[in-house]
Amino acid sequence: MTAGVQGGVGLRAPGWERWLAIGLALLVLLVLLVLPLALVFAEALSRGWAGVASALADPDAQSAIRLTLLVAAITVPVNTLGGLAAAWCIARFRFPGRGLLLTIIELPLTISPVISGLVWVLLFGRNGWFGPALGRADIQIVFALPGLVLATLFVTFPFVLRAILPLMQAQGSAEEQAAITLGAPAWRVFLHVTLPNIRFALLQGVLLCNARAMGEFGAVAVVSGRIRGLTNTMPLHIEATYNDYQAQAAFAVAALLALLALVTLAARAGLEWGTRRER
């Protein structure tokens, strides 16, 4: 038995144990993921498509949808460029503080998003460190679009890096060094050697970053002020509508947000399939 494991064959579980494990996994998946999602769509459609259309046509809902898409449209490109630069430095260079830099980059994954929102309030709020100076210059960060973008940038920054860094480390730099030896400039090496090798992982990171940006609640709730029609994103609008006892309208917007997440998940699955096929 030991020789079989060491030889890479591994152990074969009896048929009933394998099917029991698969059945339990599917049961957990059904109860914790599929059933709640189905209930969201069922509640959204409880009054038919007319009720969904009415909820989505509400001015506050449309404002929340536009603001959510705008924040994601700003956040994702910035974090993509930042993640690429950070992954390039960490994977290709050795320098003092490299491990500390990676730890700091992953900090948003380990702390509560509410804390990140409070940090921006501490810095840019009316009574914050820079609040009086910003007030005199008539610049508003907190309770406005810039605050939402900053909070979302913070919580979503690690996603692109975590998607491409392991791949860049596994691939090594042999191809890039060969291209540099042949006289290619650094920007050409990046565009024609590095980027094609990580394109699928990069797209996956971008999709995950976009999904988190659209669904972020804690950080934006702190810096937004929850002003309806102005600073409420889709998650905040869902909470506000539900607290106003408009459950069907809240679930309608929640279903739209869930649908966007499902589209993102399907796109990621397609990218993973394309990656495996290419390999």
CATH numbers and ranges of domains, the chain: 48-278 (1.10.3720.10)
**In terms of Cα–Cα distance, which of 88, 54, 2, 24 is closest to 253?**
54
DSSP summary character for residue 268: H
- Cα dist from 128 to 78, 118, 123, 135, 157, whole Å: 25, 10, 5, 11, 24
Whether residue 11 is predicted with pLDDT greater than 60 in this model: the reply is: no
Mean pLDDT for the stretch of residues 58-87: 94
Put simply, whether the predicted model's pTM sits higher than 0.85 gets the answer no
* 240 in Cβ contact with 99 (< 8 Å): no
Residues 6+ apart with CB under 8 A from 105: 86, 157, 158, 161
As a whole number of angstroms, the distance between CA 150 and CA 140 comes to 13
Q: How far is residue 269 CA from its own chain's centroid?
A: 15
Residue 248 identity (one-letter amino acid)? Q
SS (H, E, C) 101-121: HHHHHCHHHCCCHHHHHHHHH
Rounded to an integer, the average pLDDT of 150-172 is 90
Read off the pLDDT of residues 79-91 as tens digits, 9 standing for 90 and up: 999 999 899 888 8
pLDDT score of 7: 46
Mean pLDDT of 90-112: 85
The pLDDT > 70 percentage for the chain reads 93
Cα–Cα distance between 164 and 178 in angstroms, integer? 21
Q: Are 264 and 272 in contact (CB under 8 A)?
A: no
Residue length of the chain: 279
At 9 the pLDDT is 47
pLDDT at 25: 87
Model confidence at 16, in pLDDT bands (50, 70, 90)? confident
Task: Write the CB contacts of 214 (distance below 8 Å, at least 6 apart in sequence).
Answer: 68, 69, 71, 72, 234, 257, 260, 261
Q: Which residue has the tokens 């659209």?
A: 214
**84 closest CA partner among 232, 191, 214, 216:** 191
Per-residue pLDDT, 13: 53
SS3 content of the chain, % helix, strand, coil (to 5): 80, 0, 20
Task: Please provide the average confidence, as pLDDT, over all residues in the chain.
Answer: 86
pLDDT by residue (tens digit) across 210-264?
999 999 998 999 999 888 889 999 999 999 999 999 988 999 999 999 998 888 8
Residue 246 DSSP one-character state = -
Which of 76, 70, 264, 260 is CA-nearest to residue 157?
76
Q: Predicted confidence band at 70 (pLDDT cuts at 50, 70, 90)?
A: very high
How would you write 129-162 as a 3-class SS string?
Answer: CCHHHHHHCCCCCCCCHHHHHHHHHHHHCHHHHH
